[in-house]
A and B are shown apart, each in its own frame.
Chain A
């Protein structure tokens, strides 16, 4: 007997009840490590498992919930010892009466970005538990009480990569229907089924009464068997236990078999009595698995985007033809990408394409950094865009949710490498209708390639609804009949193959005047032909307007709700242009000078004043003769307590807006960018407070320095590498906690060991000039303004 036999029987499957509750009853003191019971009181576990098996449990969970090396770090025992003992005891109790599950709970530290634990480290921690469980002879693995979908993914990957055990995954939700970290049952379902879980569900936190809406959501979004292991109701306010009786627990939980739930058990507060009554209640019930039809969709950890209408994929995170994005990538400036990501989501993008391919950077590293950072600030699902399978695999591992892979095509050599990854990580995939011979001229040939891609994808086990076909836009100025063929192919793919379609829209108008007009009309024609997923620049309102109008006119947008929300108060103007991802009015001439605007902290006016100045003056003159003197004035006022940090930041923001205009201007010409030298900055390893560092960054950039911002929680080695690669004469380090200053010291030591001659400035709440000197720093920056003064000194010395 194994889990698969039980599942295919169609009968309800009975798990056990609480372990912690039973251990406390046996006398486990508060604050003790429950996992040590396997070594210290083996008889307790034999008793508890036997009691559950006697009550009817078909699967018992070994007492390994927290048996990971982080939680056991101070216990003087190894993961292997604890897991071996706990699983053996469960097996000894079970004999042939039931299966034994290796129980895997959370590590106890939060993963990035909320915490500091790295994803791959989490996978490694779980992998050790899994290997120990396999060696001890567990029959299956259960991953439970997860609140972070990314941690559940790490555990699931560890099980898949280190065993062939069947695996169930249950997460714990609040009454709001979300986990603490905001994950919904729908996101969990799409993601975990995609990654190969055998059953998924809910445990802990709520009681059976609160289950129905969550079960409803789960069965909408998964075809997998559903597991429920709730608490014995909600906790009493005084902490004296839980609020429902074993009888009510059993009745109310068993009734959910009607909804198709197949696997039942109890969490906190439940005892063998609950399980015994649950078995009796289930004897009188049938599991009714209603047929399920999961809609096509992608998701992040916190948001599902069903492909049930036109969904816009933002195209801006891509260096092709974008000089500023290329520069940002070469600097490793993930922040620039975050600005682009947020601007696109604000403009209405549903999904973001992420392409960081440049010949002279480490694409895989950059892709991982970009995916993590973007997922840290937006809940839009991502389309991972690369031709390199190695890059795609790294991105897919770290992406939390169900992504889209962009792309494969009709060439089997490449798709045989990429499609297995799409399957393993549970993504959707874009298929381009081209092959070894190029892009076919005719619609019919493109449909044939689409059919071939679909066959290959299904061969690898990818479901049909997760294959999206791109019939490819050809530039109409070069291929006059191209648009017609593309639209015809799109229509056929949709109608004959029943697949969702993707199309990059903007290429159509290359080489033509008034490109916006062509793009907008082509988009409308494509949507009418059945386009589901246009890839476009959402910051161009005309494109979003076309999508909103299409939804309005096809009654997708009932009562014009979305349309009115977007345009109810708008004066629609055609003179909207975009700069650096931000939509700004094309020309409003300010009434103040640039200096006045910077001193007053007015962004729009500073940008406008810069634009008009650029008509007459050289960019570098504007920087040196106006911007920097204005900033200096604010800086002096700040030092003398005439203005304060908020006003300093406001002025910096205005100067930044002016700088953006100048950079844009220089990028369109072929001029060299303003560059007074490179400074590498980072918040040190273990520290996640980075607001001070970010204020410093803005100020340094205002003065024309190129800032390579490595972010927060940065490994010493990464700082060394960046300082080497960028030949930075100055490195700035920030730490806010006494506990992380030692990592600052370590970083400085490694910079010195590497033989770098760069100067190091440090700052942060717990530092003093004396302490800074003691840990080997060259400078102590007491505030953001001070860091600029230090930079000036260092760079005047080095010139």
Chain B
């Protein structure tokens, strides 16, 4: 399986996550964020795993070939035309959480910067995985990756999906009793595979779980991940 390697992070993306337009950041802030990005890349140990399942679209949602039902009409729409789904999960490691915890006791600005660097790093990891998985299915089409919490796909699926991937044993990723992924900087996602072109190829604010509460939309922009 492909090994995920973090490269340098996009500083303006990190600044945007921090709530600051890149052009408004002074030199000292830029330096702080750059240092944090380097530290984060050094400390994080990204791990991931995946499996593919054939799927059937049912009245209440999407059923994986193992029998697990993903009860979501939004996901069913999203995966229409797909015959398979790749389920993956990834984590930046407990060491990343610890790094952020340490910073919170030293310097809140660094803590915020590291936290946002980690968010950017998770995105980067997911992008690499997505590219790899797309390569596994030459000639196929893919709607954008979809995670529990998007639309009406419940967060309570985190545990069952991780169990299906044997994620606790393989990469040390678990879900808490309240369905939070631990370590914290982690993701689970599904990527549909279709033989025919798909409509949901790009993420948009309409399908985003943040919806109208999104800090970027409130400020009149967007997160840039679409």
Interface residues of A (CB under 8 A from B): 29-31, 106, 108-110, 113-117, 145, 147, 172, 179-182, 204, 237, 239, 335, 338-339, 341-342, 376-378, 601, 641, 643-647, 649-650, 652-653, 685-691, 694-695, 698, 737-740, 743, 765-768
Looking at B21, B106, B113, the one whose CB has the most chain A CB atoms below 10 A away is: B106
0/1 interface trace, chain B 145-157, chain A, CB 8 Å (1 if under): 0000100000110
A685 to B177 alpha-carbon distance, docked (Å): 10
Q: Do A180 and B112 contact each other (CB < 8 Å), given the known contacts A645-B18, A646-B20? A: no
Q: B94 at the A/B interface (Cβ < 8 Å)?
A: yes
Looking at A29, A338, A341, A649, the one whose CB has the most chain B CB atoms below 10 A away is: A649
A689: contacting residue among B156, B184, B215, CB under 8 A: B184
What A residues does B67 contact at CB under 8 A?
Answer: 29, 31
Is B105 a contact of A115 with CB atoms below 8 Å?
no
What A residues does B155 contact at CB under 8 A?
Answer: 737-739
What B residues does A644 contact at CB under 8 A?
Answer: 18-21, 24
Q: Do A114 and B94 contact each other (CB < 8 Å), given the known contacts A646-B18, A743-B178? A: yes
Stretch at the interface among B5-13, B122-130, B167-175: B167-175
Stretch at the interface among B74-82, B95-103, B192-200: B95-103
Interface footprint category on B = 35 or more
Q: B204 at the A/B interface (Cβ < 8 Å)?
A: no
Is A377 a contact of B29 with CB atoms below 8 Å?
no
B177: contacting residue among A182, A339, A652, A686, CB under 8 A: A686
A691: contacting residue among B26, B100, B168, CB under 8 A: B100
Looking at A341, A342, A647, A691, the one whose CB has the most chain B CB atoms below 10 A away is: A691
Number of A-B contacts (CB under 8 A): 156
What B residues does A237 contact at CB under 8 A?
Answer: 1
Is A115 a contact of B174 with CB atoms below 8 Å?
yes
Q: Do A31 and B102 contact each other (CB < 8 Å), given the known contacts A117-B176, A653-B109? A: no
A342: contacting residue among B106, B109, B149, CB under 8 A: B106
Is A691 a contact of B176 with CB atoms below 8 Å?
no
What A residues does B19 contact at CB under 8 A?
Answer: 644-646
Q: What is the chain A residue whose CB lies nearest that of B178?
A: A686
What A residues does B25 contact at CB under 8 A?
Answer: 646
What A residues does B42 contact at CB under 8 A?
Answer: none
Is B177 a contact of A377 with CB atoms below 8 Å?
no
Report A709 CB to chain B, min CB distance, Å. 11
A229 to B172 alpha-carbon distance, docked (Å): 19
A643 to B25 alpha-carbon distance, docked (Å): 9
What A residues does B98 contact at CB under 8 A?
Answer: 113-114, 376-377
Report B20 CB to chain A, min CB distance, Å. 4
A695: contacting residue among B1, B95, B112, B171, CB under 8 A: B112
A652 to B107 alpha-carbon distance, docked (Å): 10
Is B20 a contact of A690 with CB atoms below 8 Å?
no
A145 to B26 alpha-carbon distance, docked (Å): 49
Q: B205 at the A/B interface (Cβ < 8 Å)?
A: no
Interface of A is mostly: loop
What B residues does A115 contact at CB under 8 A?
Answer: 174, 176, 182
What A residues does B104 contact at CB under 8 A?
Answer: 690-691, 694
What A residues does B94 contact at CB under 8 A?
Answer: 110, 114, 180-182
Report A203 CB to chain B, min CB distance, Å. 11
What B residues does A108 contact at CB under 8 A?
Answer: 159, 163, 168, 174
Q: B201 at the A/B interface (Cβ < 8 Å)?
A: no
What B residues does A688 contact at CB under 8 A?
Answer: 176, 180, 182, 184
A694 to B102 alpha-carbon distance, docked (Å): 13
Report B70 CB to chain A, min CB distance, Å. 13
What B residues does A647 contact at CB under 8 A?
Answer: 20, 26, 29
Is A695 a contact of B179 with CB atoms below 8 Å?
no
What A residues does B68 contact at CB under 8 A?
Answer: 31
A534 to B225 alpha-carbon distance, docked (Å): 54
Q: What is the chain A residue whose CB lies nearest that of B176?
A: A116
Interface residues of B (CB under 8 A from A): 1, 15, 18-21, 24-26, 28-29, 47, 51, 64, 66-68, 93-95, 97-98, 100-102, 104-109, 111-113, 115, 149, 155-156, 159, 163-164, 168-169, 171-172, 174-180, 182-184, 210, 213, 215, 219
Q: Do A691 and B109 contact each other (CB < 8 Å), given the known contacts A108-B168, A116-B176, A737-B155? A: no
A335: contacting residue among B21, B105, B163, CB under 8 A: B105
What B residues does A30 contact at CB under 8 A?
Answer: 66, 164
What A residues does B149 contact at CB under 8 A?
Answer: 738
Report A538 CB to chain B, min CB distance, Å. 16
Is B213 a contact of A114 with CB atoms below 8 Å?
no
Q: What is the chain B residue whose CB lies nearest that of A685?
A: B178
Is A650 a contact of B182 with CB atoms below 8 Å?
no
Report B61 CB to chain A, min CB distance, Å. 16
A30 to B51 alpha-carbon distance, docked (Å): 11
B29: contacting residue among A110, A179, A378, A650, CB under 8 A: A650
Is B180 a contact of A377 with CB atoms below 8 Å?
no
Is B172 a contact of A646 with CB atoms below 8 Å?
no
A767 to B168 alpha-carbon distance, docked (Å): 31
B182: contacting residue among A106, A114, A339, A694, CB under 8 A: A114
A783 to B26 alpha-carbon distance, docked (Å): 22
What B residues does A378 contact at CB under 8 A?
Answer: 102
Q: What is the chain B residue whose CB lies nearest that of A70?
A: B177
A91 to B1 alpha-carbon distance, docked (Å): 40
What A residues does B168 contact at CB under 8 A?
Answer: 106, 108
What B residues does A335 contact at CB under 8 A?
Answer: 105
Is B29 a contact of A646 with CB atoms below 8 Å?
yes
Is B101 a contact of A376 with CB atoms below 8 Å?
yes
What A residues does B184 contact at CB under 8 A?
Answer: 114, 688-689
A488 to B54 alpha-carbon distance, docked (Å): 78
What B residues does A182 contact at CB under 8 A?
Answer: 94-95
A690 to B112 alpha-carbon distance, docked (Å): 11
Could you write out 20 A-B pairs with CB less than 8 Å apart? A106-B168, A109-B174, A110-B176, A110-B182, A113-B98, A114-B98, A114-B183, A116-B176, A181-B94, A239-B1, A376-B98, A641-B219, A647-B26, A649-B109, A650-B109, A737-B179, A739-B155, A739-B178, A740-B180, A767-B213
Report B129 CB to chain A, min CB distance, Å. 15
6 nearest interchain CB pairs? Answer: A180-B172, A686-B178, A645-B19, A644-B20, A31-B66, A338-B105
Is A110 a contact of B105 with CB atoms below 8 Å?
no
A646: contacting residue among B109, B174, B183, CB under 8 A: B109
Report B145 CB to chain A, min CB distance, Å. 20
Is A649 a contact of B177 with CB atoms below 8 Å?
no
Report B30 CB to chain A, min CB distance, Å. 10
Looking at A31, A376, A685, A768, the one whose CB has the most chain B CB atoms below 10 A away is: A31
What A residues does B21 contact at CB under 8 A?
Answer: 644
Is A342 a contact of B102 with CB atoms below 8 Å?
yes
Report B120 CB to chain A, min CB distance, Å. 15
What B residues does A31 contact at CB under 8 A?
Answer: 64, 66-68, 163-164
Is B101 a contact of A116 with CB atoms below 8 Å?
no
Q: Do A646 and B180 contact each other (CB < 8 Å), given the known contacts A335-B105, A739-B155? A: no
What B residues does A686 contact at CB under 8 A?
Answer: 176-178, 180
Is B66 a contact of A29 with CB atoms below 8 Å?
yes
Q: What is the chain B residue whose CB lies nearest that of A20?
A: B166
A172 to B170 alpha-carbon distance, docked (Å): 10
Is A653 a contact of B108 with CB atoms below 8 Å?
yes
A768 to B172 alpha-carbon distance, docked (Å): 34
What B residues does A695 contact at CB under 8 A?
Answer: 108, 112
A147 to B91 alpha-carbon distance, docked (Å): 15
Q: What is the chain B residue whose CB lies nearest that of A71?
A: B163
A687: contacting residue among B26, B105, B109, B178, CB under 8 A: B178
Is A339 a contact of B106 with CB atoms below 8 Å?
yes
Is B109 a contact of A737 with CB atoms below 8 Å?
no
Q: What is the chain B residue whose CB lies nearest that of A695?
A: B108
B180: contacting residue among A239, A739, A766, CB under 8 A: A739
A766 to B107 alpha-carbon distance, docked (Å): 26
- Known A109-B176, A685-B178, A687-B180; further 11 A-B contacts with Cβ < 8 A: A116-B182, A180-B47, A686-B176, A687-B178, A691-B100, A691-B112, A694-B108, A698-B108, A740-B178, A767-B213, A768-B213
Is B174 a contact of A110 with CB atoms below 8 Å?
yes
